[in-house]
Amino acid sequence: MEAAERIGTGARWSADAVALALVLAVFVASRVVADRIGIAPDPDVVVHHWQNLSLRSLADDLAGTLAGLRSQPPLWNALLGLGARACDADPACTAGTILSANRAATLLGLLILFAVLRRVGLSARTAGFVVAVAVLTPTVVFYETYAFYPHLTALFALVTVAGLVTLAARPSPLGLAASIGGVAGLSLTVTLWHPAFVALFGAGLVAALPRSLRRPGAAVVLAASLVAVLPAAKNAALFGHFAGGTWGGLNLAQVAPGLTPEERWACSFDRLLAEGSLGSGPPEGEILNRAETAEASSACVAIALRAIAARPSEWIGGIGERLAASHLRAPYHYFFRPIGFDRWPQVPAPETLAAPGGPSPTTVVLLALGLLYYPVVAAGAAWLALRHRCRGPGLVAAAGLALILWQTILSHAANWGEQQRMRYTLEPVYLVLAVMLVSEARGRIRSRDPGRAA
């Protein structure tokens, strides 16, 4: 019996090694092709993105510059600063450094994803195929080459779901640490992932642990929550904003109905940038990091909430419109694009539906599938969570659905655009949930067909 088990284990490791070797070969070959056809990060992104502080400031005094950061959580600018220091604030070099870091993240991510897919029941061959296809998708190539934080946040989400799968299979502080650590990483990178969500998400996971593990689990969640809350606590003390960033009121005003032209201008990023001497003055990120932005945001929260309270149905209708528009777009249908990305195979943007001559039937089908994929997976996750009573696969489904609902609701209710970029963060969550749903369906079919199960 022991010899047979050793043989089985060896065969499994051999199959995994072959599949991973093929995935790595696909990854390396595809990136060589991407480099050869001229796909590269745009250096202007690291200079002019509103979330980025000055490369020179980051390079000269990283710690001091981060200490003065209020507009955004600090993790992304900390990593950007390391690249700026290594490159003496040169934009092209810094963008290239981010590309190298993103490719390392892709490599780590494909290893994690393969392990997760194996754990949820896929064979080595099928898991390798799924990971290889994911590596080749225009979405991954786009965000790997885009010199900004979405590729990092997608890795955090993948670490979170890997922890969830581990936790569902065998409850332990390690699985909990991975899950809550990934969510804390999101909170330290993107304002949307409020530290309150970290604490609530962690509390839910602790409640799902066996009683014997709840005390150490609570300690893990408390530690992660305390780290995640630091930027928000600083902003609350200095500016009255209990959030990782100080733009919330400006974003909310973008989607508030019925604002007067004067209110719209007072709550616009354009006004703040114009008054900050855009062009002859500091980069946009430095301007929007000033105290004036935080003060304007505070005033605009009140303005936006009054407008929403006066026209709630119009605001809700706008949410629906943004949901449909953003989910019709792939994450790479985005207005900032890496250099040469149009040379990579991809589905055209939905604007082609209205182009002269119309889109190809293939384009229509792919856009329709993209529109359906996300709500179908979310609905399937809800079904899976209920079916398993939030235990085992149901725990992964319930926690994954919590991530999806939090980001989807907030990004569409309090932000005008860019939801397709924000959705990229959760692409690994959607993928793992989709695989779990297919595996569940196959299991149910086999249980009803004894002949096939045999």
pLDDT digits (tens, 9 = 90+) for 29-74: 999 999 999 999 999 999 999 999 999 999 999 999 999 999 999 9
Contact 78, 66 (CB under 8 A): yes
CA distances from 270 to 220, 293, 296, 413 (A): 42, 11, 12, 21
User: Count of H helices and E strands in the chain?
Assistant: 23, 0
The interaxial angle of helices 150-169 and 173-187, nearest 10 deg, is: 160
- Among the listed ranges 181-185, 275-279, 350-354, which one has the minimum average pLDDT value? 275-279
Whole-number Å distance between alpha carbons of 198 and 182: 10
Q: What is the DSSP letter of 339?
A: B
Residue 3 has a pLDDT of 47
* CA-based torsion, 70, 419, 90, 286: positive or negative: negative
Q: What is the DSSP letter of 329?
A: S
Residue 254 has a pLDDT of 94
Whole-number Å distance between alpha carbons of 400 and 157: 9
Contact 426, 373 (CB under 8 A): no
Residue 275 has a pLDDT of 84
From 232, 229, 234, select the one nearest 244 (Cα to Cα).
Answer: 232
Confidence of residue 280 (pLDDT cuts 50, 70, 90): low
Whole-number Å distance between alpha carbons of 8 and 329: 44
Whole-number Å distance between alpha carbons of 295 and 293: 5
Mean pLDDT over residues 425-440, rounded? 96
SS3 content of the chain, % helix, strand, coil (to 5): 75, 0, 25
From 181, 151, 153, 179, select the one nearest 165 (Cα to Cα).
Answer: 179
Residue 93 has a pLDDT of 98
* CA-based torsion, 334, 337, 342, 343: positive or negative: negative
pLDDT at residue 2 is higher than 60: no
Residue 283 has a pLDDT of 85
Mean pLDDT over residues 228-252, rounded? 94
3-state secondary structure of 40: strand
Instruction: For residue 17, give every residue at least 6 positions away whose Cβ sits within 8 Å of its Cβ, in sequence order, or none.
Output: none
- High-pLDDT (> 70) share of the chain, %: 93
User: SS3 sequence, 75-107?
Assistant: HHHHHHHHHHHHCCCCHHHHHHHHHHHHHHHHH
Residue 103 has a pLDDT of 98
Whole-number Å distance between alpha carbons of 116 and 121: 9
Select the more confidently predicted residue: 6 or 133. 133
Whole-number Å distance between alpha carbons of 222 and 205: 12
Residue 240 has a pLDDT of 86
Q: Which residues of 301-314 are buried (b: 16+ CB within 10 A; e: fewer)?
A: bebbeebbeeeeee
Residue 451 has a pLDDT of 57
pLDDT at residue 367 is higher than 80: no
pLDDT at residue 142 is higher than 90: yes
Residue 358 has a pLDDT of 67
352-354-358 Cα angle (round to 5)? 70
Phi, psi of 74 (to 5 degrees): -85, -15
Amino acid found at 193: W
How many alpha carbons fall within 13 Å on the CB side of residue 422? 24
- Dig out the tokens for 89 from the structure: 């604030």
Name residue, tokens 């509390």: 203
- Among the listed ranges 258-262, 290-294, 353-357, which one has the minimum average pLDDT value? 353-357
Residue 1 has a pLDDT of 47
Select the more confidently predicted residue: 14 or 276. 14
Contact 132, 23 (CB under 8 A): yes
Confidence of residue 4 (pLDDT cuts 50, 70, 90): very low
Whole-number Å distance between alpha carbons of 426 and 399: 12
**How would you classify residue 389: left for phi > 0, otherwise alpha for psi between -120 and 50, otherwise beta?**
left
Residue 195 has a pLDDT of 97
Residue 385 has a pLDDT of 97
